[in-house]
């Protein structure tokens, strides 16, 4: 019984490096992104080299922007005495929560040179306005 406890006690230390492997692989395969803001808008840039516009889906729902897509790239090179073929396939998804002053209904997306740029305008604050309140005679 003591041997079994000692042996099973080793498994967590052996297993530990692999426990979060799926999440680490997803992070490694996720496209690099950057988010910044200026006075008028929020801008999110995502590196998507080799991904065509038709393979990208951008949605906004309840203040969350989701970018999903599929990457498929093939490359072949031939020489007199050699042949090289490489294929890359996979899907990706990135999610960004918008700040409360972002106008998600007016988001725009541009894809240029393998970089997707999302622009989300900031809501214009409503000017404070005084309202005259009528006093009822009672």
pTM value is 0.64
Q: What is the pLDDT of residue 55?
A: 92
Residue 131's alpha-carbon distances to 38, 115, 138, in angstroms, are: 32, 48, 21
At 50, is the pLDDT very low, low, confident or very high (cuts 50, 70, 90)? Answer: confident
At 5, is the pLDDT very low, low, confident or very high (cuts 50, 70, 90)? Answer: very low
| Mean of pLDDT values over 13-36 | 66
Q: What is the pLDDT of residue 18?
A: 59
At 9, is the pLDDT very low, low, confident or very high (cuts 50, 70, 90)? Answer: low
Spatial distance between the Cα atoms of 46 and 36, rounded to a whole number of angstroms? 12
Spatial distance between the Cα atoms of 88 and 72, rounded to a whole number of angstroms? 5
CATH class of 28-121: mainly beta
- Flag whether pLDDT at 15 surpasses 60: no
Give 66-102 pLDDT, tens digit per residue: 999 987 767 788 888 877 777 767 788 999 999 999 9
Radius of gyration of the CA atoms of the chain, in A: 26
Give 96-121 pLDDT, tens digit per residue: 999 999 999 999 999 999 999 999 99
| Domain range list for the chain | 28-121
DSSP 106: G
- The secondary structure element, H or E, covering residue 9 is helix 2-19
């Amino acid at each position: 019984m003591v041997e079994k406890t000692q042996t099973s006690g080793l498994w967590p230390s052996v297993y530990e490096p692999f426990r979060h492997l799926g999440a680490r692989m997803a992070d490694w395969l996720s496209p690099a992104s950057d988010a910044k803001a200026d006075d008028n808008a929020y801008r999110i840039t995502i590196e998507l080299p080799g991904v065509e516009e038709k393979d990208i889906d951008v949605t906004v729902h309840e203040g969350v922007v989701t970018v999903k897509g599929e990457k498929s790239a093939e490359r072949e090179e031939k020489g007199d005495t050699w042949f090289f073929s490489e294929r890359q396939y996979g899907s990706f998804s990135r999610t960004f929560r918008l700040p409360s002053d972002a106008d998600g209904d007016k988001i725009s997306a541009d894809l240029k040179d393998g970089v997707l740029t999302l622009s989300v305008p900031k809501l214009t604050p409503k000017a404070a306005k005084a309202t005259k309140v009528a006093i009822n005679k009672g």
